[in-house]
Amino acid sequence: MWRRNEILYAALGLLLLVWAVSASGLLVRVDHLLFDVGQRLDWRAAPDDVLIVAIDQDSLDRLGRWPWSRDVHSRLLATVCAGRPKAIGFDIAFSEPGEDAAADAMLGAAVAACGNVVLPLVIENPRMGGQVLESGPIPPLARAAAALGRVGVNLDEDGIARSVDTWEGVGRPAWPLMARELLRLAGQLPADAPPPPVDGAGEAGDLLARDGNRRLNFIGPAGSVARISFAQVLNGKMPPETFAGKIVLVGATAVGLSDFFPTPVSAQGHPMPGVEVQANLLLAMRDGRLIRILPLPATLALGALLALVPLLWLPRLMPLPGLLASVAWVFLLGGACIFLPVLARLWFPPTGALIAGLSAFPLWSWRRLEAARRHLDSELMRLQAILPASLLNGVPNGASTGTAGTAPAGVRRMGFEQRIAWVQEAQRTMRDLEVRRNEALAFISHDLRAPLAGAVLELESSPDSHCAHCSHSAQSERLLQSLRRAHNMAQSFVSLARAEMLEARQMRDLDLGAVLHQAADELYPFARKLGVTVVRQLPDDPVWVVGDFDLLERMAINLLQNALTHSPPGAPVTFGLDLQAEEARFWVHNRGACLRREQIAGLFQRFSRGNEEKAEERAENANRAGSTGLGLYFVRIVAERHGGSVGVDCAGAAPGEGMGVRFWVRLKRSAG
């Protein structure tokens, strides 16, 4: 019951912990770190059908300061379009008219002539708390473009670009990504691409509305996507065939133009140009590698399930294996969450589950220590009640006072190590007291046995004991029976004390069949006196067990004597051995009446001779056998010290014979 309560307390603590961490986002940076590790382990070669025309430092050196005249872009566009690419995207904001209106018109004409050009739309917040604005290209360019698409990405708390909203806009998420529009024009938009939002979804007035948040899956670090210089294309060093059948992105890669983003595969030291981020986004969308983010309710549910996993082994393992299993679980969970976006295109923020996994062992250990402390406190109070006051020196003053069900104040002030040391000392004292008690009992029994045996011998050899007409013969016989019983009890105490102190190192290999034959020979005069025949069913070959010869012999004598005592007149008593591969089953059977369940329950207890036996029968049987009430208890102690067991049931001694009472002892066999 206590373990069930401790498991419930630990489970509740882990659930509260995982929900608090996951819902609050306190350790979201750890989630980001694990996601970044997975991204850096998933690099692959970029396909050659996506090409970046880079406005690099060499182009700035050759063509002059930025911004360039729009006719420069129109000449580049004419060269690229001559190669018949599938789609062209400009990661350059043409949101304001240029200084030369003719150049703007020339670029618009080139865009219209090409027919597959996507121009960017930028959604920006010009100042903190200001109105969100949608900045598209100037009207002549917007009308000429085949499509408009957004080029923005989302920056997380640490300033790293990891995700995008596939649809976004002021008031409603109406604008798609440039990457989506490029794929659509190229005929490469996958069927599982994030669909447009439902009409009316996300209505937010003048606020920014978003839909379809996905995490990026990068090809590799900056420079992984193929790029050529803007100036080289403009100077005719790249033939038009270079662009045939490709998706071309035009954008800045020069450091001075400040169009760079830290990414999971580049971080702060080597940021990635915005145009290459768009190329990675396009490739991830085309290949179905955009990563879905598990919603918060599902994250909390899965986190709760994972948080409870350590409770499958912690209640069953010792501390060190439990600690190792918990550490292995944390590493396994962390690794699985790192590779989950790579393998399943799904992101589960694992920090809550990881913190719960790290906390499971300390939490369970705390609950286990609390249970151990309560047990120690109860043992301390119990030991204080039964041990002499001289042993309580280690307990603080006032330890003996306390309310019912609570530890006394002195015990509560003790440290954990003090509690353990005091209980250990008390247990050693109790073991010493028990040894002294057994030794005293054995000495007393031994000292009583000698004079009792002498008195019995003197009475048996006196002339009056053989004189049927002597006046003192009846009185002598009664005295002799009492002395015999006292002598048997002393002998039983000696044997029982020796059995209770038996240790494995005192045992030797011996033949159980020889033990049983010797026990039967010992009781032959007693059986003959009662007129009962003893039938032996013992194997001829040795039956080897590990044990103590004298104690096993006394055990067999007790069982045979009990069977002879309670056997009906003239009915035989049978005993034998049933052998199995790893055990030997010694049994004794007589034709007595079957015992009821209530009688069987107390047979092998100390000073028990069957609660339901009539008083006259009990007295008669006790006188016949000199019963002390310790015989069957001795049998059980010897069997248990030898690693065996005892029992009794109603069964026939052999096929065709009537039912009776069968006592049995099961012992382990040895190789001999």
Report the predicted TM-score, pTM, of the whole model to 2 decimal places.
0.63
Round the average pLDDT of the chain to a whole number and report it.
Answer: 82
Cα separation, 482 vs 216, in Å, equals: 99
Q: Is the pLDDT of residue 601 over 80?
A: no
Contact between 589 and 662 (Cβ < 8 Å): yes
* Residues 585-601, mean pLDDT to the nearest whole number: 82
Residues for the chain: how many in total?
672
User: Going by DSSP bridges, is the β-strand pair 147-150/117-124 parallel, antiparallel, or unpaired?
Assistant: parallel
Cβ-count burial of 183 within 10 angstroms (0-12 exposed, 13-18 middle, 19+ buried)?
buried
Question: Looking at residue 536, what is its pLDDT?
Answer: 92
pLDDT in tens, 172-198: 888 999 999 999 999 999 988 888 887
Mean pLDDT of 653-665: 72
Would you place residue 337 in the very low, low, confident or very high pLDDT band (cuts 50, 70, 90)? very high
Residues with Cβ within 8 Å of 582's Cβ and at least 6 positions away in sequence, in order, are 668, 669
523 versus 444: the higher-pLDDT residue is 523
pLDDT > 80? residue 622: no
Distance from C-alpha of 491 to C-alpha of 572, rounded to nearest angstrom = 28
**Predicted pLDDT of residue 293:** 93
Query: Can you tell me the distance from the alpha carbon of 322 to that of 164, in angstroms, rounded to the nearest whole number?
Result: 42
Residue type, 132: V
Q: Over pLDDT 70: what percentage of the chain?
A: 79
CB 280 within 8 A of CB 334: no
Give CA angle at 149 (148, 151), nearest 5°: 140
First to last CA, the chain: 45
Q: Which residues contact 498 (CB under 8 A, 6 or more apart)?
A: 442, 551
Angle between helices 351-386 and 28-40 (to 10 degrees): 120
3-state class percentages of the chain: helix first, strand second, coil last, to nearest 5: 50, 15, 35
User: H or E element: which one contains 135?
Assistant: strand 133-135
Q: What is the DSSP letter of 591?
A: -
pLDDT surpassing 70 at residue 426: yes
Q: CA 469, CA 475: separation in Å to the nearest integer?
A: 12
Tell me the per-residue pLDDT of 224-282, one tens digit each, with 9 for 90 and over. 999 999 999 998 888 889 999 999 999 999 988 878 999 998 755 688 999 999 999 99
Q: Above 80 in pLDDT, residue 527? A: yes
pLDDT at residue number 449: 58
Q: Predicted confidence band at 161 (pLDDT cuts at 50, 70, 90)?
A: very high
Specify the DSSP class assigned to residue 177.
Answer: B
Domain range summary for the chain, segments of one domain joined by + = 2-26+295-365, 42-191+201-293, 426-464+473-501, 504-668
CA atoms lying within 13 Å on the CB side of residue 258: 1
Give the tens place of pLDDT for each residue, 291-315: 999 999 999 999 999 999 999 999 8
Give the residue-averaged pLDDT of 402-427.
Answer: 64
Measured CA to CA in angstroms, residue 190 lies from 184, 282, 289, 291, 319 at distances of 9, 11, 11, 15, 52
Non-local (6+) Cβ contacts of 144 within 8 A are 108, 109, 111, 112, 117
CATH homologous superfamily, domain 504-668:
Histidine kinase-like ATPase, C-terminal domain (3.30.565.10)
